[in-house]
Amino acid sequence: MMDLLGLHHVTAITSDAQKCYDFYHNVLGLKLVKKTVNQDAVDTYHLFFADNEGSPGTDVTFFDFKDAPKHVGGANDIFAFTLRVPTDYSLYYFKQRFDEMQIKYGTVIKLNGKHALPFYDFDDRLIYLISDELNTGIPLGKPNPDSPVESVHQILGLGPVLLAVENTLVTASVLTQILGMERIGEYEYKDSLDAVHVFTMGDGGNGGEVHLLKRTGHSQQGYGGVHHVAFRLSDELKLQAALNKLNTGNIPNSGLVDRFYFKSLYFRDISGILFELATDGPGFSSDEPIDALGECLSLPAFLEARRNEIESALKPIQTK
């Protein structure tokens, strides 16, 4: 078993970093907790949005890859992710907010028994707000006192991530036999060719679930899509144990990678979906105080000497 604590973050691809900030902060009310670069492509922003403290399990992050194509949905893809709000009434609050701000949204449905509101960002990315009203398990994060959204309705965590694959049996075995998740149920969903299977990890609930859909058709990664999903491990010892498990099973992987704010390990499911395992620490306040998170361009120590070069290649983002 890998002792996963829950969801850590999802990373998506955006067509425009400024529009990304405008939508995820000004519309959804999330806090920009880190403005940095993709360590493997330093001309690309890596923006982290989360709760007030940048708590693990509350992050949605974005790359603005240059010349990325438009995402095409299909099989072997991260179909959608969900964002947790405190109550059912919070969904109504956001419907009113979306009406006022002319944001496209759909009819409230149920995902594994929880009320959820589908909506689309400026890249036409499908996201769900999911209610925590009947939720147990992994708690919500901390409200941001400076958010444009009222504290009682703020998005305070990452909820179930929906994976769409052609061969659900194989991916299910990866989730259970490799990652140590438990299958706890199923439900019907209009965009799945079969029942959606629900897997849980850690203390469970909305912050610890993966939902597995069956779909067909060729998918293409690009802006409007999700690049990868990350799962939480408490520390480097657990991460090393996970690496040993992958290596013992002859599963190709990245090896340990230092992302400065956490340590990571990457591997792909046979479907091609990219999974990341990430530690809870050191955290985003390791180089900025909590009340100043995301205000400046943060660079890991090994990139600091290239700051002028990196900043000159990035289009400035207005965050005030």
Which pLDDT belongs to residue 320?
76
Mean pLDDT for the stretch of residues 218-237: 98
Listed in sequence order, the residues at least 6 apart from 183 whose beta carbon sits closer than 8 Å to its beta carbon are 172, 175, 176, 197, 198, 199
Tell me which residue has tokens 């000004």.
26
Residue 66 lies in a domain: yes
Residue 260 lies in a domain: yes
Residue 155 lies in a domain: yes
pLDDT for 128-172, tens place per residue? Answer: 999 999 899 999 999 999 999 999 999 999 999 999 999 999 999
Give the chain's end-to-end CA distance (angstroms, integer).
Answer: 45
Residue 70 lies in a domain: yes
Residue 278 lies in a domain: yes
Residue 319 lies in a domain: no
CATH number of the domain within which 65 lies? 3.10.180.10
Tell me which residue has tokens 């179909």.
79
Listed in sequence order, the residues at least 6 apart from 224 whose beta carbon sits closer than 8 Å to its beta carbon are 13, 15, 70, 71, 123, 124, 125
pLDDT for 190-222, tens place per residue? Answer: 999 999 999 999 999 999 999 999 999 999 999
Residue 1 lies in a domain: no
Domain count, the chain: 1
Which pLDDT belongs to residue 278?
99
Mean pLDDT for the stretch of residues 117-123: 99
The range of the structural domain enclosing residue 155 comes to: 6-313
Which pLDDT belongs to residue 1?
75
**CA 303/CA 38 separation, integer angstroms:** 11
Residue 147 lies in a domain: yes
